[in-house]
A = this chain, B = another copy of it.
Amino acid sequence: MQRKQIAIVGTGLIGGSLALQLNEKGLAANIIGVDANKLHAEKALEMGLVDEVMELEDAIEKSEVIILAVPVDAVLKLLPGILDKVSDQVVIDLGSTKSLVIDLVKEHPKRGRYVSAHPMWGTEFSGPEAAVKGAFEQKAVILCNTSLSDNDALEWAQMMFEKIGMHQLLMNAEAHDLHAAYVSHISHITSFALANTVLEKEREEDAIFELASAGFESTVRLAKSNAAMWVPIFMQNRENVLDVLNEHISQLKKFKSCLEKENYEYMFELIGQANKIEKVLNPGQKIGLDSTGKLKI
Contacts and interface: CB of A to CB of B under 8 A. Distances in A.
Interface of A: 120-124, 139-140, 142, 169, 171, 175-176, 178-180, 182-184, 186-202, 205, 207-227, 230-231, 234-235, 238, 241-242, 244-249, 251-256, 259-260, 262, 264, 267-268, 270-278, 280-281, 283, 286-287
Contact of A252 (B178, B215, B217, B245): B245
B194 A248 contact: yes
Contacts of A205: 178-179, 182
B270 A192 contact: yes
Copies of this protein in the assembly total 2
Given A190-B190, A222-B218, A140 B211 contact: yes
B187 A194 contact: yes
A205 B175 CA distance: 9
Q: Which applies to chain A's interface (DSSP): helix, strand, loop or mixed? A: helix
A68 B230 CA distance: 45
Contacts of A175: 207
B255 A192 contact: yes
A179 B272 CA distance: 26
Contacts of A275: 195, 223-227
B245 A122 contact: no
Nearest to A288: B210
Contact of A248 (B193, B215, B217, B224): B193
